[in-house]
A and B are shown apart, each in its own frame.
Chain A
Amino acid sequence: MTAPDDTLLLIEDLTVSYGAVEAVRGIDLTVRRGEIVTLLGANGAGKSSTLNAIVGLAPRKARRMEFSGSDLQGVPPETVVRRGLTLVPEGRRVFSSLTVDENLMLGGAKHATRGDPAAVKADMLERFPILAERLHQNAGSLSGGEQQMLAIARALMSSPDLLLLDEPSLGLAPQVVDQIFDLIGSLRERGLTILLVEQNVAQSLEIADRGYVLANGRIELQGSAEELRASPEIQDAYLGA
């Protein structure tokens, strides 16, 4: 099988094992250019392992793993990022003892960025004025929502083509969650492709084009956002209908 032209990320038979623990057991997944694809599933289903494996931060094995036509297998995270694929990890993980500005600078480090970091930064500071206000404060002093904004802004500094987001709404107040989802929607409008891991099923399916449901490391369900919303499994398990 050859990938159709608009396939940005192509994964076949991906397995992630930590010693004896098999977190992901042979999944297939594709993301096409311009899409928002969401990866849903309960705690421990293997969502983070999948994202970490794609960027090279988790031990992985796959039949195929390609980004924009180039092989990702055996490629270290720093190189994956330089090719235009980046991850906003679970739990935000901003550098808390560095200032907001320094976090952004590292995100836009010269050799990693493919765009214009100054323009991205100006854009992000305009969108999130609170980050502009706190530019010279330590990132650790920000609230959870502000840290999430910073984590996303930091990842965008390298002007990626594909952004992996791991539970960006986790633990945030509903208002902040809306802000984050707004941002995700507007990023797509600007041509960014997004693979979104979420436990907030309702909102993710609203914004996504397609989705996968992981359970115990396997893909249990997949389809368009509409199909998933209508499926009885999702209705029962997540949407509480």
Chain B
Amino acid sequence: MDIFLQQLLNALSLGGTYALLALGLAVVFSIIGLINFAHGELMTVTGYAICFALIWGLPFPLAVIAGLSVAMVAAFLMERVAFRPVRGASGTTLLLTSFAVSAILRVLFQNLISARPIPVSIPASLSGVLTVGPLHLGMIQLISIIVTLVMLLGLNLFLHRTMAGRAMRAAAEDFAVLRLMGLRANSVVATAFVISGLLAGVAGLLWVAQRGSVDPLMGALPVLKAFIAAIIGGLGSLSGAVAGGFLLGFIEVILQAYLPESLLPYRDAFAILVVIAVLLFRPQGLLARKTLVKL
């Protein structure tokens, strides 16, 4: 029971992180048809920002705020500098641009900061174990799950209760017509990027908090997983991205727990097999939505 519950927590917290990342990818994709592979570097940037803020002596909560702010600003700049000039171009052009941005940022991290992991001193209170009766639960996993839920709830409120949020939902459906409502295309796209930056920032924060270090390639693997999650969910569908993220988290944790030890190195391969099986039955993804990309 104890172990099962711990596994459930692990799955929820890992899946939650994937969900946040996949959601960030989907928010941008649904509006401008860009799969932003530099999304992972937004995680990394957050990690470094938190790391340096702590080194400079900021208390942890302020370091977190600094990290998230840096992520949002970085996402905003990324759109302004790299993606706006190619807006409306073919999917391939957009994809290659995002690879380029990702590669440039990784090289910058390696050369300007360090190629090796830098430790981040996470407060001890976060890395402890919570004992509830007979159960011992990882504190950080619990916090991850709560933070993920708060983010999902907050985003949902934003999308449904504010004009900017409604504009984003409308943009995902029909950008051209949204412009006929007098809403500026540039501000809608910028908002989408800032939100995706915040989501990547929170995911980066959780990732660093669990691992205790930052390195230039930190974002690579999680963003690849998030991409897979977004595909499972149906690219462009926000609820699909969340569902896909949690599903992938569960698959990975279950495989990790129940695969025989000799097969563990192939865990990701098995995970991808499950994904392929899902896509065989639902090629458009679980919660696919018609996306016509139009400007």
Instruction: Show the binding face of A for B, using Cβ within 8 Å.
Output: 55, 57, 76-78, 81-82, 86-87, 89, 93, 95-98, 102, 105-107, 109-113, 154-155, 158
Beyond A76-B185, A78-B184, whether A95 also contacts B179 by CB under 8 A is: no
Q: Which residues of B contact A93 (CB under 8 A)?
A: 174, 177
Beyond A95-B173, A95-B174, whether A102 also contacts B181 by CB under 8 A is: no
Which residue of the partner chain, among A57, A96, A111, A112, contacts B173 with CB atoms under 8 Å?
A96
Q: Say if the beta carbon of B163 comes within 8 Å of chain A.
A: yes
Q: Which residues of B contact A105 (CB under 8 A)?
A: 163, 166
**B289 — nearest CB in chain A belongs to which residue?**
A97
Q: Say if the beta carbon of B195 comes within 8 Å of chain A.
A: no
- The answer to whether A78 touches B182, judged by C-beta atoms less than 8 angstroms apart, is yes
**A101 — nearest CB in chain B belongs to which residue?**
B166
CB<8 Å pairs between A and B, sample of 17? A76-B179, A77-B176, A77-B179, A78-B179, A78-B185, A81-B180, A87-B180, A93-B177, A95-B177, A97-B173, A102-B166, A105-B166, A109-B163, A109-B182, A110-B163, A112-B181, A154-B181
Which residue of the partner chain, among B166, B176, B184, B185, contacts A106 with CB atoms under 8 Å?
B166
Q: Which residues of B contact A158 (CB under 8 A)?
A: 181-182
Q: How far is it, in angstroms, between the C-alpha of A110 and the C-alpha of B288 when the chains are bound?
A: 32
Mask, B157-169, CB within 8 Å of A = 1, is 0000001001101
- The answer to whether B179 touches A106, judged by C-beta atoms less than 8 angstroms apart, is no
Q: Which residues of B contact A95 (CB under 8 A)?
A: 169-170, 173-174, 177-178
Which residue of the partner chain, among A98, A110, A113, A155, contacts B180 with CB atoms under 8 Å?
A155
Interface residues on B, range: 10 to 19
**Given contact pairs A81-B182, A109-B181, A109-B182, a sample of 6 additional A-B residue pairs in the complex whose CB atoms are under 8 Å apart:** A57-B176, A93-B177, A98-B170, A102-B166, A106-B163, A106-B178
Q: How far is it, in angstroms, between the C-alpha of A106 and the C-alpha of B175 when the chains are bound?
A: 12
| Shortest Cβ distance from residue A83 to the other chain B in the assembled complex, whole angstroms | 10
Q: Which residues of A contact B181 (CB under 8 A)?
A: 78, 81, 106-107, 109, 112, 154, 158
- Judged by DSSP, the binding face of B is helix
Q: Say if the beta carbon of B183 comes within 8 Å of chain A.
A: yes
Which residue of the partner chain, among B166, B170, B174, B180, contacts A77 with CB atoms under 8 Å?
B180
| Shortest Cβ distance from residue B161 to the other chain A in the assembled complex, whole angstroms | 10
Q: Which residues of A contact B180 (CB under 8 A)?
A: 55, 57, 77-78, 81, 86-87, 89, 155
- The answer to whether A109 touches B183, judged by C-beta atoms less than 8 angstroms apart, is yes
Q: How far is it, in angstroms, between the C-alpha of A107 and the C-alpha of B178 when the chains are bound?
A: 9
Beyond A77-B176, A109-B163, whether A97 also contacts B183 by CB under 8 A is: no
| Shortest Cβ distance from residue A176 to the other chain B in the assembled complex, whole angstroms | 21
| Shortest Cβ distance from residue A168 to the other chain B in the assembled complex, whole angstroms | 15
Q: Which residues of B contact A113 (CB under 8 A)?
A: 182
- The answer to whether A97 touches B182, judged by C-beta atoms less than 8 angstroms apart, is no
**B167 — nearest CB in chain A belongs to which residue?**
A106
Beyond A95-B169, A97-B169, A106-B170, whether A112 also contacts B183 by CB under 8 A is: yes
| Shortest Cβ distance from residue A116 to the other chain B in the assembled complex, whole angstroms | 15
Q: Which residues of A contact B178 (CB under 8 A)?
A: 95, 106
Q: How far is it, in angstroms, between the C-alpha of A110 and the C-alpha of B177 when the chains are bound?
A: 17
**B172 — nearest CB in chain A belongs to which residue?**
A97
**B182 — nearest CB in chain A belongs to which residue?**
A112
Q: Which residues of B contact A155 (CB under 8 A)?
A: 180
- The answer to whether B179 touches A57, judged by C-beta atoms less than 8 angstroms apart, is yes
Q: How far is it, in angstroms, between the C-alpha of A93 and the C-alpha of B173 when the chains are bound?
A: 9
Q: Which residues of A contact B184 (CB under 8 A)?
A: 78
- The answer to whether A106 touches B183, judged by C-beta atoms less than 8 angstroms apart, is yes
Q: How far is it, in angstroms, between the C-alpha of A199 and the C-alpha of B173 when the chains are bound?
A: 27
| Shortest Cβ distance from residue A13 to the other chain B in the assembled complex, whole angstroms | 25
- The answer to whether B177 touches A89, judged by C-beta atoms less than 8 angstroms apart, is yes
| Shortest Cβ distance from residue A143 to the other chain B in the assembled complex, whole angstroms | 19
